[in-house]
Amino acid sequence: MNFHFFGNNKAIDLVNTESAAASGTTDLLASQEALSDWFEEAGIACGIQCSDKDLEETRELRSAMRRIFDRVQESKSAAPGDLDLLNRRSNEMVRLLSAANNNFKISVRLNSSTDILAMLASQCCELLASNRLGSIRKCASTKCTYYFFDTSKNQQRQWCSMETCGNRHKMRKHYDRSRGDSS
């Protein structure tokens, strides 16, 4: 599968499994198998068997997160229904405390699609409530709908990926300059 993991955050990477263009919407989570593959390729969990209900719930969560990110970009408040879904999902996360020789560790249960969606919703909530809200950005390309979390030192990242949108922009600028020189 051709998944992209340049969002610097798994919740953002989930949002990036759907893109819109003039030619239509592309959903990389087109099947139960694709969802299971995404969980594995994202490094979250292997061997999760997904149902149609899991796929539907994932798409619902992804859409809510995208709408919230879109509203953040527009400096508008998130819709209450989207926040309710994020809260409900994140509250389903099961944390597990383990100990070995008085070294305690908290982990998250990731045995099912429900567990994974809870973890992703929780991660999205933490990101939205952090002091780095302004670091959630949409790619500067007008043809791209991907988001990313800007972790660059100077907070100047513009492109979802330099290998795709950033490179296309550089090539377009070079082409425009070369055309201008020969006219």
Q: What is the pLDDT along the chain (183 residues), one digit of tens a residue?
A: 789 899 999 999 999 999 876 677 899 999 999 999 999 999 999 999 999 999 999 999 999 999 999 999 999 999 999 999 999 999 999 999 999 999 999 999 999 999 999 999 999 999 999 999 999 999 988 888 999 999 989 988 888 876 768 566 455 654 556 676 544
Q: pTM of the prediction? A: 0.87
pLDDT at 174: 47
Calpha distance 160→82 (Å, rounded): 24
Calpha distance 38→36 (Å, rounded): 5
pLDDT at 177: 65
pLDDT at 183: 46
Asked if 37 and 5 count as a contact pair (C-beta separation under 8 A), the reply is no
pLDDT at 76: 96
Asked if 180 and 39 count as a contact pair (C-beta separation under 8 A), the reply is no
Which 3 state secondary structure label does DSSP give 40? Answer: helix
pLDDT at 181: 55
Domain 10-182 fold is Jann2411-like fold (1.10.3300)
pLDDT at 178: 67
DSSP string of 80-119? HHHHHHHHHHHTT--EEEEEETTEEEEEE--SSHHHHHHH
Phi, psi (5° rounding) for residue 101? Answer: 55, 45
pLDDT at 166: 56
Q: What residue spans define the domains of the chain?
A: 10-182
